[in-house]
Structure 1
Amino acid sequence: MCVRFASYSTLLSVVTRALLNEIDLLLYIKIKMKKPGRLV
């Protein structure tokens, strides 16, 4: 039971981090699209 809970917690944290990274990427793209002159 403990192992299953640990693996589930790890999976949940990985999924959450992936979602946050995707949201950050979308915000980054939106900011870049708003300021086309500052493409790096």
Structure 2
Amino acid sequence: MMGATHRKIAKEADIPLGSMTYHFNSEDVFVRRDNLR
């Protein structure tokens, strides 16, 4: 997920940017949590 940003992920997931930054403090944490599923 090179080049992933909160803004790009939020747009693709159709969720508010604020939700991304509130729940995930970095893109790395988001990617690691997603890979555990």
What TM-score do you get using the length of structure 1 for normalisation?
A: 0.28
Higher helix share: 1
The structure with more radius of gyration: 1
Considering Cα pairs closer than 8 Å and 6+ residues apart, tell me whether 1 or 2 has the greater RCO.
2
What TM-score do you get using the length of structure 2 for normalisation?
A: 0.30
